């Protein structure tokens, strides 16, 4: 014990308080910094492929040997140590089909391709001399490919899709976590410049951009299952329909996050084109800045297809008819989300063709512009927009709903990034509270010992 000005101070207790305070403070800093790194990785759509046990390859022969020698059913990571140009192709024969590609992921293989590079991504470049199109990568039925930090492309002047996903026997599966599928071109009548999918495609990050299809579906064609929770599909071009994404017969597209932007279609569906007997569900994400020279700047719903909107935003798209959405399909139901700021000659927000059913139950259609008729909804929106739903709000330019309610606004939905950030925030909050009360308890105990 030590006396200062007639008062006693326990120096040992004081030291313990300082030491524990330092420990608690240090722990809090570690948690916050770690959380920051988690947020950065999640926001960049990076799944964190580990290079610890990766097989490193530096040329075409090593890459193909690593894939073909990978054990069946066991995940393996292959890291590119530099750009690799594919100058030869592989063949794969089935009972009812025959496929060739510059690189093939066979059945029962589970391959992750990443880059051994601290900044940026290495390229996998298709450059096979043939008279026909040659895809850079083919994912065979039953094969799994995970792209986590490479660029899949073609050499200038060479034709072919970036990735083709099969469904023979069972679905081939492509996961896109980070990196790019860009700079690929196919001529008519081929579809799907960036990705052609008849199996399963899951996109949670990365970018599909700058691809071209002479016929349809510049960015992605799906005749199978396509689920988009994040990432970006942008700057793609189609000679007919589906600048960003296009569905084929019985194809499905579900979007809960990410963006589809600045794509162009010479005819219809600048952002998304839904072909006959296909379906699309929009839970969240953004479809904006797309252009169609005829119909459906944001989305073109055609034939016996269905389009369901419960969240997300369709904005700043343009076309002659249906700047936001052109509805000429079997079903279009809107219960949430927003269609706003789009422009067209007829139907700035939504163009309903030939009295097809538009079931507006909620959400917002507002502030769209038509130079002729139907600022928000055409027909029947000449200053008083209408829908057959009781909850749809069609505002802006004098437009009001003929429904009985004011309408509701449903948020844009949650992507994996949003959910991850929420979880990180909750964890940090809990840790901060626990550390605070622990520190408070230590201080109280120390004071009691002094007293």
User: At 38, which helix (H) or strand (E)?
Assistant: helix 11-43
Most confident of 4-13, 86-95, 323-332: 323-332
Report how far residue 98's alpha carbon sits from residue 85's, in angstroms, rounded to the nearest whole number: 24
Angle, helices 416-450 vs 11-43, to 10°: value is 180
423: left (phi over 0), alpha (psi -120 to 50) or beta: alpha
pLDDT of residue 304: 86
Q: What are phi and psi of 435, to 5 degrees?
A: -65, -35
**438 falls in which pLDDT band (50, 70, 90)?**
low
**408 falls in which pLDDT band (50, 70, 90)?**
very low
Nearest to 302 by CA among 249, 341, 262, 254: 249
52 CB neighbour count, 10 Å cutoff: 5
Domain boundaries, the chain: 2-43+432-450, 184-395
Nearest to 426 by CA among 9, 38, 55: 38
pLDDT of residue 101: 94
Lowest mean pLDDT among 39-43, 97-101, 136-140, 416-420: 39-43
pLDDT digits (tens, 9 = 90+) for 316-338: 999 999 999 999 988 999 999 99
pLDDT of residue 49: 75
Q: Which residue has the higher pLDDT, 432 or 123?
A: 123
First CA to last CA distance, the chain = 12
Average of per-residue pLDDT across 381-405:
38
Nearest to 244 by CA among 304, 305, 283, 203: 203
**97 falls in which pLDDT band (50, 70, 90)?**
low
CB-CB contact of 221 with 272 (8 Å): no
Reduce the DSSP state of residue 99 to 3 states and report it: strand
Average of per-residue pLDDT across 374-379:
94
Location of structure tokens 């700035």 = 348
pLDDT of residue 14: 37
pLDDT of residue 357: 85
**Rg for the chain, CA atoms, rounded:** 27
pLDDT digits (tens, 9 = 90+) for 222-279: 999 999 999 999 999 999 999 999 999 999 999 999 999 999 999 999 999 999 999 9
Q: What are phi and psi of 120, to 5 degrees?
A: 80, -170
**427 falls in which pLDDT band (50, 70, 90)?**
low
CB-CB contact of 234 with 218 (8 Å): no
| Greatest Cα pair distance in the chain | 99
């Amino acid at each position: 014990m030590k006396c200062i000005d007639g008062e006693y101070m326990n120096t040992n207790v004081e030291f313990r308080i300082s030491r524990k305070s330092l420990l608690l403070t240090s722990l809090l800093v570690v948690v916050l910094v770690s959380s920051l790194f988690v947020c950065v990785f999640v926001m960049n759509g990076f799944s964190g492929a580990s290079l610890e046990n990766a097989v490193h390859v530096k040329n075409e022969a090593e890459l193909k040997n690593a894939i073909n020698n990978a054990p069946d059913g066991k995940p393996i990571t292959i890291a590119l140590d530099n750009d690799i140009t594919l100058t030869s192709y592989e063949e794969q024969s089935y009972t009812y089909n025959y496929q060739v590609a510059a690189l093939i992921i066979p059945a029962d293989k589970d391959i992750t391709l990443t880059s051994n590079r601290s900044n940026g991504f290495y390229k996998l470049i298709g450059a096979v001399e043939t008279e026909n199109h040659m895809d850079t990568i083919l994912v065979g039925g039953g094969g799994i490919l995970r792209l986590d930090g490479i660029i899949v492309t073609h050499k200038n002047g060479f034709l072919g899709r970036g990735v083709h996903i099969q469904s023979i026997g069972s679905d081939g599966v492509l996961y896109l976590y980070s990196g790019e599928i860009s700079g690929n071109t196919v001529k008519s009548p081929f579809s799907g410049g960036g990705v052609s999918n008849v199996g399963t495609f899951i996109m949670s990050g990365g970018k599909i951009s700058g691809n071209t299809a002479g016929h349809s579906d510049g960015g992605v064609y799906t005749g199978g299952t396509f689920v988009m929770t994040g990432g970006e599909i942008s700057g793609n071009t189609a000679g007919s329909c589906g600048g960003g994404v296009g569905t084929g017969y019985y194809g499905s597209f579900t979007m809960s996050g990410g963006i589809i932007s600045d794509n162009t279609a010479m005819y219809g569906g600048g952002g998304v084109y839904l072909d006959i007997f296909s379906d699309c569900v929009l839970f969240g994400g953004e479809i904006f800045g797309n252009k169609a020279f005829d119909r459906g700047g944001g989305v073109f719903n055609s034939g016996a297809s269905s389009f369901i909107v419960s969240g997300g935003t369709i904005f700043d798209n343009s076309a002659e008819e249906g700047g936001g959405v052109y509805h000429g399909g079997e079903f279009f139901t809107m219960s949430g989300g927003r269609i706003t700021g789009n422009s067209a000659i007829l139907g700035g927000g939504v163009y309903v063709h030939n009295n097809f059913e538009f079931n507006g139950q909620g959400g917002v259609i507002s502030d769209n512009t038509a130079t002729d008729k139907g600022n928000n909804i055409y027909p029947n929106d000449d200053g008083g927009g209408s829908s057959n739903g009781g909850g749809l709000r069609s505002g802006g330019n004098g437009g009001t709903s003929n429904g009985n309610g004011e309408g509701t606004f449903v948020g844009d939905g949650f992507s994996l990034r949003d959910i991850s950030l929420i979880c990180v925030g909750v964890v940090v909050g809990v840790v901060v509270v626990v550390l605070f009360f622990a520190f408070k308890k230590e201080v109280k105990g120390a004071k009691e010992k002094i007293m």
